[in-house]
Structure 1
Amino acid sequence: MQKGFKYHHAEEAYVMLTYWLPEGPCLLPANASHQVGVGGFVFNDQNQVLVVQEKYCDSAFSGAWKLPTGFIQESEEIFSGAVREVQEETGIDTEFVEVIAFRHAHHLAFEKSDLFFICMLRPLSQEIKIDETEIQAAKWMPFSEFVEQPLIQDDSMFKKIMEICIQRLRKNYCGLTAHPVISKFDGRWSSLYYNVGTNSQDSNCHVS
């Protein structure tokens, strides 16, 4: 630090220090400010939604049934992370349909901002096998029963998310699908999420 270096961030294998050589204020970007989470809305042909009870949770949520959720890993896509989290927690294989909605919040874990994506997933299997290290129980619950839980009805955010999911199931709403694109800016593939519109043949909005 005496040589003018400033602490930037630390990872498991290293500590990063920086030193801005040009005159004027340092323009190096700060360390990552966000964490990214996903929730899987998995709905089957029997009007049931896949839900879990977490083994370790706030006492206020004890006994409540919720959507499978988790954090995106490094270099992982939002859509593949949602599929992975559902499979790890419940043993259910799924395929990504679209991003229903996302929430942006601040000053959460480790004082980081948080992006949380609700993803609609189509089930490819039905037999549940829970991850006993994290999950207390999992089941297919009638959607009407899930929505009527106090956890949903008494929380404006959860209630709004479920209202959006209901409109999606009724095909009155279309979320964001993932499309691979490559940009000359960096020459790399990335996923661009957008709503293609209900009149496009490329739309998933008519897929129930």
Structure 2
Amino acid sequence: MDSFEEASIDIKMEIFEAIEDNYRGVIVNMKKEEPMDFLKFHTMLKASISYWRLKGKKGVWIKLPIELAHLVNAAVKEGFWYHHAEATYLMLVYWIPHEIPHTFPAYASHRIGIGAFVLNQDGQVLVVKEKSGDMTGTWKLPTGVVDEV
């Protein structure tokens, strides 16, 4: 009878560094200074999801700088979807326990604006002249918006 020794294979999969959030999820902040090719990203992503699933994590957030946009397709293939986009990055999300609905909050979709109608004792209305934009030089009621900080 032939005998053989069972070999132990030690496989070490590289996973993404992640910050744990307060809701049993993780946040991955990809760095534009750390270029990554599609195959390595896809392999690490699959290994990371498996690891986070074993650790009981629920949500995964990946902040992907615009310089790494070539990696979006790999994330989408693994089930990630777009949460929101800004000028310099795309935020992707993934819900690990597929059997229950996700609890990701919706992204803000509104801007705060204000307009005023000011009337003095003499019945005069306050108007202002635009200094910039499409309406430069136009007299109008005072208005404004608050930009996100």
Report the TM-score range of the alignment, normalised by the length of the smaller protein.
0.3 to 0.5
Which protein shows a greater Rg? Answer: 2
Q: Which has the higher contact order (CA 8 A, sep 6+)?
A: 1
Flag the structure with higher strand content.
1
